[in-house]
Structure 1
Amino acid sequence: MDGAGQQVGTWPRCAAIFGASGGIGSALCSELAARGVATIHAGSRSGRVPQDQAIRPFRFELEDETSISAAADAMRNAPPDLVIVASGVLTLPDGTGPERSYKSLDPVVMARVFAANTIGPALVAKHMLPLLPRDRRAVLAALSARVGSIGDNRVGGWHSYRASKAGLNMLVRNFAIELGRTHKQAVVVSLHPGTVDTALSEPFRANLPDGQLTDPDGAARNLLGVIDGLIPADSGQQFDWKGGRVPD
Structure 2
Amino acid sequence: MGVFDASGPIHALVVGANRGIGLGLVQRLLHNNPGSGDHPGSGKLGCSIGTVYATYRQIASPQLQALLEQHPDRLRIIPMDITQETQIAQGIAQIQAQTGRLHLTVYCVGILHEGNLQPEKSLQQIQANHLMHYFQVNSIGAVLLARYILPLFKHGEQSVFASISAKVGSIGDNRLGGWYGYRASKAALNMLMRTVAIEYSRKSPKTIVVMLHPGTTDTRLSEPFQRNVSPEQLFSVERTATQLLQVIEGLQPEDSGAFFSWDGSQLPW
TM-score normalised by structure 2 residue count? 0.86
1:17 offset after TM fit, Å? 0.6
1:61 offset after TM fit, Å? 0.5
Identity across aligned pairs (percent)? 39
Cα distance, 1:38–1:167 mapped onto 2, change above 3 Å: same
Question: Equivalents in 1 of 2:78, 2:6: separation in Å?
Answer: 25
Question: Equivalents in 2 of 1:247, 1:14: separation in Å?
Answer: 31
Say whether 1:102 aligns with 2:123. Answer: yes
Question: Equivalents in 2 of 1:219, 1:198: separation in Å?
Answer: 11
What is the match of residue 54 of structure 2?
A: 42
What's the CA shift string for 1:129-166, capped at 9, x where partnerless? 23213411011111000000011111111000000000
Cα distance, 1:11–1:87 mapped onto 2, change above 3 Å: farther
What is the match of residue 120 of structure 1?
A: 141
8 A contact 1:83–1:140 mirrored in 2:
yes
8 A contact 1:18–1:87 mirrored in 2:
yes
Which residue identity is paired with 1:75? Answer: I
What's the CA shift string for 1:5-39, capped at 9, x where partnerless? 37499786100011010211001001000015110
What's the CA shift string for 1:54-107, capped at 9, x where partnerless? 111110111111111011111225121111111100002x14210011121100
Secondary structure of 2:242's counterpart equals: helix
Structure 2 residue ranges without an equivalent (≥5): 34-48
Question: Could you tell me which of 12, 17, 30 is aligned with 2:14?
Answer: 17
The farther-off stretch of 45-54 and 67-76 is 45-54
Structure 1 residue ranges without an equivalent (≥5): none
8 A contact 1:132–1:138 mirrored in 2:
yes
Question: Could you tell me which of 212, 216, 219 is aligned with 1:198?
Answer: 219
Cα distance, 1:28–1:61 mapped onto 2, change above 3 Å: same
For the aligned residue pairs, the C-alpha RMSD in angstroms reads 1.7
Question: Equivalents in 2 of 1:69, 1:22: separation in Å?
Answer: 22
Question: Could you tell me which of 58, 61, 84 is aligned with 2:106?
Answer: 84
Which residue identity is paired with 1:189? Answer: V
What is the match of residue 40 of structure 2?
A: none
8 A contact 1:22–1:87 mirrored in 2:
no
Give structure 1 regions of 4+ aligned residues with deviation exceeding 6 angstroms.
8-12
What is the aligned residue count? 244
Question: Could you tell me which of 57, 68, 79 is aligned with 2:77?
Answer: 57
Cα distance, 1:14–1:123 mapped onto 2, change above 3 Å: same
Which residue identity is paired with 1:66? Answer: T
8 A contact 2:4–2:103 mirrored in 1:
no
1:210 offset after TM fit, Å? 2.5
